[in-house]
Structure 1
């Protein structure tokens, strides 16, 4: 086993290089080695400065998140940061790649910071339901003030070091060889007699005390209306940096970090983090070639092809866009320009990136676009017989049957990160590899699905509507159900969503004997949804209002019943959705529960801090949810009866998480 930190001395400068591939995560071995190497550098004659660097592609990109589910072994990252800060020799953090979370906290603890101009830094702990736990909430505001510190911590984003808010943290930026730049920097420090400069003693971020507190008040007003707890505690910790001595602020940060680490929200967010990374790991036969996709062909006109084209262009791909109708193509290109302009206005991309994207677009008749294709996406009907070079993989990107391979982009394709990789019965490893390579090239999270065209999202949302209808059968009002789901955190309330999509398609969905399709009832009554201004809700410019007429229609057709508690409504609907997920796994359509969670979080707005429906049911307790489903006296018994795997998991004290490892 190689050493996680290497030690070398050049011209009196000790270089401590962290070498823990692939991202130099700050595991226990790395932390312990850093402590030892700092001791060694302090004790070695002739060493006048220390440089912390990362080997390979990056400075430490963060903590080892896999360690968070067990007691953290010493030395802790705060201890390492304290050791760096209290070192008797000047310590310079020389950064390249990405320095995120704990990696950036190490840099903040160093006495000086140097970075390549291409470096990006951030404090993304909020995305895991946490706050920085190694001094980030105390050191960052000392250097940069409340605004810059909170911009980084509350967004959880990555920031270029040559622009605000990150630029203020760096003493110098460099091009070229980072080690040479660090050596020159250290020689200048020694020549000028500059020694350790401890961040805990710095105060420039507190100079405008009133402005600091005003920023705290402004951010607190924002985060207190959110359901997530981590943002609130980040604001509290950054406020404490100004008001408390450093050691007291650190103690508060530690308490808040440990509290968040043990919370359900953080567990759900960490589940989401790992689930996204697990989903695209498809079991392909050994030796399957993963192509490098640089040019794709998109065939067809309309909204979906336009969105796919924009997404592909923004990701850096060259795109040939072909249709058989030049007018439709011209309209599509105009719409693509508008979307790119909108992305620029939202600062999602820069103007230069938008212009360069359009320069990679070629358009024309479908038959003339396929000659240099690496992959062809059929994104609209009427393009199936377009000739193409032999052996080019054709991917179905539109709704409908999939015999071989399909990619179903969650809308809008240029903004959503999800694509379902649908493998039909005739899919070959070459086709699966090409689809997966394209999804990765486009920056999408690819969730594998085995079906003839059905998607996980489609199955789960159909189940959502079926379960909601069943509760109306039993006497609940559609508006109480919508309210319960919104208050749980899911903005896509079932009946308001049905109105928005239009009730006609849903009205044709079969129900079991004795169960009602309530969308069909409303359509028959002339209330087909939002487009007509009336469905479950009355729609006007002020937004939806619960319809008394719709409620009277329902009440006339089913018995009255006592209102269920909101928690019971949520429990039953989530249970039904999870039960459908178990069925999909049982038939092989879905690989694992976490894939279902990823799909629902990225395409259907299930809140990440709930972890997805499968994770949420585990949090509720499988036994409690299964009992609630069994108690439900509804004629659609096959739908509501928990699948056998529930009993096996309950007997062994497991949740659906146990199926992720199968």
Structure 2
């Protein structure tokens, strides 16, 4: 009867009888996403199994490298086509014959929901299981919020769904997500063997809807209460909906819980937060595509040099070491080199203290770290990253040395935050090899990497920079050369807007609070205190000679720096940090300095609402973002969005400043800027791009495909 049970080979889901087991294979490259044809194929396979007496069990496997990696992103934003995934999962669970899911590679989102609907689950080494819908502003909408807590308990299910994290095969077994981990990585052989074993044992159909993970009511209620009280979600919509759904799983019959889940899923689908998170998701992928990377092959990357062992240099060295590459660190003398090595070791010692790294793993990693006080040690490296003091003559001197010692074809990169990379490249005989790699501190943690493209750089050097970002698991954004590139150029402008607000009457503490409540992890003055006020002070002094004498200049931060109040490292800045506290408290003396500065500037303070603060702060950010796109410093608005999300804490669920401006309406943003310009026409000059788009009724999104 194999002929009757076989499926058409053109379908992404095929099924064929293997003895008494109907083998159902999902083959929808590249990741077996749950497109409409896959959903139809799965439902048809279960129907075929139930209607064929020769079938005693069903085994679902994925072809290629994954089980099912989740939804088909090509269907995002399109009208849904039947069958819906919840119906497919219900059909799998309702099968009259045992259904086994054999998992290898990714079983994520809807993929794991399919596996949860099966009656038995086996995973092999290398499998990763998760319900990451929260990262897109959604919740598991095919029964995941109802089946997962019934299977593994409320606490474990909430942890999985609220974090969006992936778990490996062994952790999945420990949690109870799977029943067995295979002895080999041959998922088909392991799955068939497990199915035959279940048949030999006359294992019954075992539906997850009937599992007893929520039997301990007190523990379930405690887990739900703890999740509801957690403040990690920063005003996000979908995490609380997930908690609501798990509560429904505890208190309602399964079918009613499913209906409740669907209602909450639709509410998430309609949320602006979902739109913002989906935009961020696609934007992160789109920024990987730069014009230079389309036709150029990256140069080989086997060894890396780092010049400078301070906080930034050490962080870069750790990032490179973590990617498995050897690092040669250069410092000016033995003492500085020892401090650099200690800075690197401190990072790994911190991981050991947290139980995230073994002493042996640290030793193996540090075996790839070499150091020298001579530039000659860089003679054979493939790429060098300079991370010395932010001073143009100092960096030019370093590059003159690199030009002397590095082999032909070595990539010479500068980690400058602001300086003119064309001027740095001009000090070498090989400007085609010089590129900017602007890391963000701490460099081993922050995901953003601005790849700054000077005028004379070769395309294959840019491609190599993007290749390095991939190896380091960074998000690269291509930027042109200007003072501050994309991120720091915007930062200077929106921080200036905050300074104007402060001098005009808002306290730094109110400004920080308003910005945090919008969704940033920290306000601008908390960030200054964390980074060190002396850094911005040095930049302001560097720019003093070229500053427009007609531009408004707020001196409050200078007054604090003149007193040596640089923030956390000195125990006070805009905030007080008694006994080395990490969280600051308001400082009455700072408020007195602000009052004196307002009087000196002849400003009568006025009150601002939090909404007025945010409107000015974001209008400045959006306007400068538009200028950066208009001038070609950023390729597209989405490059600005990704830069601000990954480097400056812009709330991901709002999609970045340019996406957010689209949701507010560019005409409204422009109207605000023109209103603010009545007070300060020099600072509030509308970007020509913003004016053009607003007057045409167009959006920043319309420019995202034009690079």
- TM-score, structure 1 normalization: 0.93
Contact residue 511 and residue 517 of structure 1 kept, 8 A: no
Task: Give the match's secondary structure for 2:230.
Answer: helix
Q: 1:21 to 1:365 in 2, by over 3 A?
A: farther
Give the stretch that moved more between structures: 89-98 or 280-289.
280-289
Indicate yes or no: 2:524 matched with 1:494: yes
Q: Deviations over 1:331-381 (max 9, x none)?
A: 222221220121243455555543432233233344453344222222334
Q: 1:581 to 1:535 in 2, by over 3 A?
A: same
Looking at structure 2, the residues matched to 532 and 40 of structure 1 have their Cα atoms a distance apart, in angstroms, of 72
Task: Give the match's secondary structure for 2:446.
Answer: coil
Q: 1:568 to 1:635 in 2, by over 3 A?
A: closer
Task: Give the match's secondary structure for 1:23.
Answer: coil
Looking at structure 1, the residues matched to 42 and 549 of structure 2 have their Cα atoms a distance apart, in angstroms, of 64
Task: Give the match's secondary structure for 2:292.
Answer: coil
Looking at structure 1, the residues matched to 450 and 497 of structure 2 have their Cα atoms a distance apart, in angstroms, of 24
Partner residue of 2:32 out of 8, 20, 24: 24
Task: Give the match's secondary structure for 2:381.
Answer: coil
Partner residue of 1:393 out of 401, 405, 411: 411
Shift of 1:492: 3.5
Cross-structure match for 2:552: 515
Looking at structure 1, the residues matched to 11 and 695 of structure 2 have their Cα atoms a distance apart, in angstroms, of 44
Cross-structure match for 1:550: 593
Q: Deviations over 1:459-494 (max 9, x none)?
A: 011011222233345554444433322222224323
Gaps of 5+ in 2: 1-8, 389-394, 423-433
Looking at structure 2, the residues matched to 149 and 513 of structure 1 have their Cα atoms a distance apart, in angstroms, of 59
- TM-score, structure 2 normalization: 0.88
Shift of 1:401: 3.3
Cross-structure match for 1:361: 369
Q: 1:633 to 1:169 in 2, by over 3 A?
A: closer
Cross-structure match for 1:172: 180
Give the stretch that moved more between structures: 413-422 or 290-299.
290-299
Looking at structure 2, the residues matched to 137 and 105 of structure 1 have their Cα atoms a distance apart, in angstroms, of 9
Q: Deviations over 1:506-564 (max 9, x none)?
A: 64353562623234662597475436666544554462314331232233123325423
Looking at structure 2, the residues matched to 301 and 536 of structure 1 have their Cα atoms a distance apart, in angstroms, of 29
Looking at structure 2, the residues matched to 598 and 358 of structure 1 have their Cα atoms a distance apart, in angstroms, of 32
Shift of 1:211: 1.5
Q: 1:558 to 1:620 in 2, by over 3 A?
A: farther
Output the aligned Cα RMSD.
2.6
Shift of 1:322: 3.2
Partner residue of 1:405 out of 435, 448, 452: 435
Q: Deviations over 1:589-621 (max 9, x none)?
A: 101111111111111112212222222222222
Give the stretch that moved more between structures: 415-424 or 117-126.
117-126
Cross-structure match for 1:50: 58
Looking at structure 2, the residues matched to 225 and 114 of structure 1 have their Cα atoms a distance apart, in angstroms, of 33
Cross-structure match for 1:9: 17
Gaps of 5+ in 1: none
Indicate yes or no: 2:102 matched with 1:90: no
Looking at structure 2, the residues matched to 307 and 457 of structure 1 have their Cα atoms a distance apart, in angstroms, of 19
Shift of 1:96: 0.7
Indicate yes or no: 2:707 matched with 1:658: no
Shift of 1:139: 0.6
Contact residue 440 and residue 449 of structure 2 kept, 8 A: yes
Q: Deviations over 1:180-232 (max 9, x none)?
A: 111111111112212321111121x1232222222222222215984112221
Contact residue 470 and residue 634 of structure 1 kept, 8 A: no
Q: 1:134 to 1:540 in 2, by over 3 A?
A: same
Partner residue of 1:641 out of 680, 685, 703: 685
Looking at structure 1, the residues matched to 309 and 594 of structure 2 have their Cα atoms a distance apart, in angstroms, of 41
Q: 1:65 to 1:406 in 2, by over 3 A?
A: same
Partner residue of 1:193 out of 197, 202, 206: 202
